[in-house]
Amino acid sequence: MDYDLTVIGAGIHGAAVAHEAAVNGYRVLVLEQYAEAALGTSSKSSKLIHGGLRYLESAQFKLVRECLQERKHLLKEQPDLVSLTPFYIPVYRQTSRSPWLIASGLSLYTLLGGKGFRLLRKSEWPKMNGLRTSDLRAIFRYWDARTDDKRLTERIISEAVSRGAEVHYNTVFQSARCNSNACTVTFAKNGMEHSLTSRALINATGPWVNEVLKDVTPVIKPLGMDLVQGTHIIVPGTLGNRVYYLEAPQDQRAVFAMPWKDQIMIGTTETAYRGDPAHVHPLESEISYLLETWNHHFEKIFNREDVIDSFAGLRVLPSSESSAFKRSRETRIHQDLSNPNVLSIYGGKLTSHRNTAKHVLSRLPAAMRR
């Protein structure tokens, strides 16, 4: 047997599984199609390590508590990459969520593990980076954390390698044939086909998760999923160390404006996506949406020509007719009992990657667990 675990994908969840497995003494190989880790969705997030305040609206209390606990862990273990940051929520007369409702949500957030919040005095409003004060009713401050998602993923996979894991970049998974004891995995690298044997296969390919399952035998029935595109834009300016939690006037979704590499990043959107995940790109309608949201809240007006850069990533959400904003963000770990050596990760949060990895290892066939 060549390996205990073969992990497909070097995004945040593939990196976390490889790290957790290596720490526990498994022989691990990671196969990554790109030349570096985290070149897909794991480098195109909102860069937040947070509990997910807005998930309280859809009663995802377990997820919020889990993420807040993981935030605490990351602040302790990765202090140079994860920093606690003040977040500000402005509430206007036309804001759909009233001050008392937001205060209630922040109180619950605190009870679930948050750091606390307060209502800013009116004398502090002029210091808020040119936030529009006409019709402003209140500004709340609470605390969450930020990171560099790509560097965090690279750190985790580097630590996995230091523990004995191997990583093959520029490597394309082709197929896996499994029996009750192992999988024979075939992949292409440098124009040549290779194969190996592995006791288990972990499908951590994000938006490609169901495409990978098509090449696994015995056949595994995939879970229903939708791909939802999230776009961010970069504009000039500075916000200091402040992050703004804004309500988009178009549909009342949450949009963040935050500092990023001495500029301002605004995001994200939720747009249904159909097509090859490798070809995802920002839409002009999304860029307009984000600019309109910023311009609704701040005196400084940005136009299309002010956009320095933009990028888009894909979320994997459960199939549903409801809006993406209201759907569960819980990670789903799929294991077909007819082929228990293959586990697939659907969705998941940057913040809770460590817990996701632990859950994956706990689902390995009993003979493999350590």
3-state SS assignment for residue 26? coil
Q: Could you tell me the residue ranges of all domains in the chain? A: 3-42+150-224+329-368, 87-146+225-321
Which residue type, as a one-letter code, is found at position 104? Answer: S
> Which pair of structure tokens corresponds to residue 259?
């500092």
pLDDT score for 360: 97
Alpha-carbon span 71 to 66, nearest angstrom = 9
Helix 353-362 and helix 12-23: axis angle, to 10°?
Answer: 60
User: 3-42+150-224+329-368 has which CATH code?
Assistant: 3.50.50.60
- pLDDT string in tens for the chain (370-residue length): 799 999 999 999 999 999 999 999 999 999 999 999 999 999 999 999 999 999 998 899 999 999 999 999 999 999 999 999 999 999 999 999 999 999 999 999 999 998 899 999 999 999 999 999 999 999 999 999 999 999 999 999 999 999 999 999 999 999 999 998 899 999 999 889 999 999 999 999 999 999 999 999 999 999 999 999 999 999 999 999 999 999 999 999 999 999 999 999 999 999 999 999 999 999 999 999 999 999 999 999 999 999 999 999 999 999 877 676 666 778 999 999 888 999 999 999 999 999 999 999 999 987 787 7
> Which pair of structure tokens corresponds to residue 343?
């586990």
β-bridge partners, 295: none
At the second CATH level, the architecture of 87-146+225-321 is 2-Layer Sandwich (3.30)
Q: E strands, the chain, where?
A: 3-8, 28-31, 48-49, 82-92, 117-119, 136-147, 166-168, 171-178, 183-189, 192-203, 216-217, 225-235, 243-247, 254-260, 263-267, 271-273, 309-318, 332-334, 342-346
pLDDT score for 325: 65
pLDDT score for 324: 65
Residue 37 near residue 232 (C-beta atoms within 8 A): no
pLDDT score for 326: 64
Alpha-carbon span 256 to 288, nearest angstrom = 15
Which residue type, as a one-letter code, is found at position 40? Answer: G
Phi-psi bin for 49: left (phi > 0), alpha (psi -120 to 50), beta?
Answer: beta
pLDDT score for 180: 86
Asked if omega into 95 is within 30° of 0 (cis), the reply is no
